[in-house]
Amino acid sequence: MPKFKDLTGKKFHMLTVVRFIRMSNQGSVWECLCDCGNIIQRSVGSFKHNKSCGCLRKEGIRKKLMKDMTGKKFGKWIVLHRDYQAKIGTGVHTRWICQCECGQIKSVDGKTIRRGKSTQCTKCKNRKDFKITEEPLYKLLSGMKDRCYNESNGRFARYGGRGICVCEEWLQSYQKFKEWAMENGYIQGHRLTIERIDNDDGYNPNNCRFATYAEQSRNKSNNHYVFIDGKKMILMDALRLAGTPPSTYKTRIKLGWDENDAIWGRNKEAKKE
């Protein structure tokens, strides 16, 4: 059994020995008074390592948690004041009342804002995402990708199905596509669409331009061309020139009429004059 030594009245850091309690395998056990006022029992061998009843460690944690962030700015958050502490798992988290630049006030976890995981209120975050996805250019690029890579798209066969693709730069970055668009004829608020100059090439800066829907319709790969007096012409242009409704043209074709007759009618020479 370890040798007994009277420690009554001795002080070890913040612990003052009050009286002997008993002997144990670890040596003598003593009742101690901590400077904070707590009374605890400690074995003689623990005095080297334990400076207090545990209050020092708790105080260190408390000071860390109580670090004042009032007035500091994290992203769009401005910290107004401390809210409360909440135990999460084995740790304690301090929450802070924060105000977003938009005016929204919310209680936010201190760790979340310090680590940059929360920089603004949900309304601002959603508004930002909404603006991007609702931009006409964003929808235009999404449509291009869908036609080229989504086999369920009704027009995939005419695009991705025949090897038409979107260049890597635009696939990876909407911002790059937007910058190119603004420098190459795109005007905000105008009903413009993107067309490929060469219908057999893909979507890339060297093969694309902006056009109205009417202009683009003249460059479709499925346009029906006819020859009028040796001149190649889109069928719809020929019908407009002849003053023949498309429904009349279709009926005449079904009846077996020659294409030129279906466009101009039986008295086509008189119509041309």
Q: Note the pLDDT tens digit of each residue in 50-102.
A: 888 887 776 665 555 557 788 889 988 999 988 887 766 666 678 889 998 88
109: nearest Cα among 90, 121, 96: 96
pLDDT (0 to 100) of residue 46: 86
Count Cβ neighbours within 10 Å for each residue of 216-251 and write b for 16 or more, e otherwise: beeeeeeeeebebeeeeebbeebbeebebeeeebee
E strand residue ranges, the chain: 11-12, 15-24, 27-34, 39-43, 73-74, 77-88, 91-99, 105-109, 192-196, 208-212, 225-228, 231-234
CA–CA gap between residue 43 and residue 32 (Å, rounded): 10
CA–CA gap between residue 147 and residue 168 (Å, rounded): 15
Could you tell me which residues are beta bridge partners of residue 42? 30
With 0.75 as the threshold, say if the pTM is over it: no
pLDDT (0 to 100) of residue 177: 94
Residues 6 or more apart from 196 whose CB is under 8 A from it?
Answer: 164, 202, 203, 207, 208, 219
Could you tell me which residues are beta bridge partners of residue 40? 32
Model confidence at 123, in pLDDT bands (50, 70, 90)? confident
Domain boundaries, the chain: 11-56, 67-126, 135-217, 225-272
pLDDT over 70 at 1, yes or no = no
16: nearest Cα among 5, 30, 29: 30
Task: Work out the angle between the directed axes of helices 122-134 and 136-149 (0-180°, nearest 10).
Answer: 70
CA end-to-end span of the chain, whole Å? 130
